[in-house]
Amino acid sequence: MKASTTYLYLLRKTPFFTALTHEQLRWTIDHSKEWEAYAGTVVAECGPAVSDDANWILLDGRWQVERDGHTYPAGHADPGKWFDSSETHGSCKLVTTEHSYVMKITRADMNDMLMRGFGFGVHLEQGREYYRTMFAQRSIESPSIRDAK
């Protein structure tokens, strides 16, 4: 990935950030890092041996979660427009599917933003439900131990 510049006037139009005030947008820019990513770039990985302390927000483009041979695509206005490996179970990868811009916010900074009242609630809840459903499918698709008898 290549470092990129975050412009306030563009960030204001990004669905995840539309509820923020001018001051909150400024604070976000000061406490985040924007990256340009080409199609096929692995933005984040999750799994027992991976420690990713970041929230990733899709600013523009598309990405998908790849897990157990399945793909779960999302655009910047979809429930999967943000990603945090702490919301996942097992191994997966977050991969861009076209030229995209992504923002990395550390978990500590995201928690600080939430404590300051940044208007992310609806987006976070939609995303959590999206990831709960995605990762619950593993137990539905995988036979249980008692089914193996």
Give the start-to-end residue ranges of the domains of the chain: 2-136
Question: Cα(first)–Cα(last) distance of the chain, in Å?
Answer: 47
Fold of 2-136: Jelly Rolls (2.60.120)
133: CB partners within 8 A, 6+ apart: none
The band of 146, judged by pLDDT with boundaries at 50, 70 and 90, is: very low
Most confident stretch, 7-21, 46-60, 74-88, 124-138? 7-21
**Rg of the Cα trace of the chain?**
16
Q: For the segment 66-111, what is each residue's pLDDT rounded down to a tens digit?
A: 988 889 999 888 888 999 888 887 888 999 999 999 999 999 999 9
The band of 12, judged by pLDDT with boundaries at 50, 70 and 90, is: very high
pTM, two decimals, is: 0.85
Write down the pLDDT at residue 137.
Answer: 59
- Are the CB atoms for 79 and 130 separated by under 8 Å? yes
Largest CA distance in the chain: 60
- Mean pLDDT computed over every residue of the chain: 87
Q: Using the predicted structure, report yes or no on whether residue 46 has a pLDDT greater than 90.
A: no
| C-alpha torsion angle, residues 136, 111, 1, 50 (rounded to 10) | -50
7: CB partners within 8 A, 6+ apart: none
Nearest partner of 28 among 61, 70, 57, judged by Cα: 57
| Distance, CA of 55 to chain centre | 6
Distances (CA, A) of 103 to 56, 68, 82, 84, 146: 6, 26, 9, 12, 43
Exposed, middle or buried by CB within 10 Å (0-12, 13-18, 19+), for 11?
buried
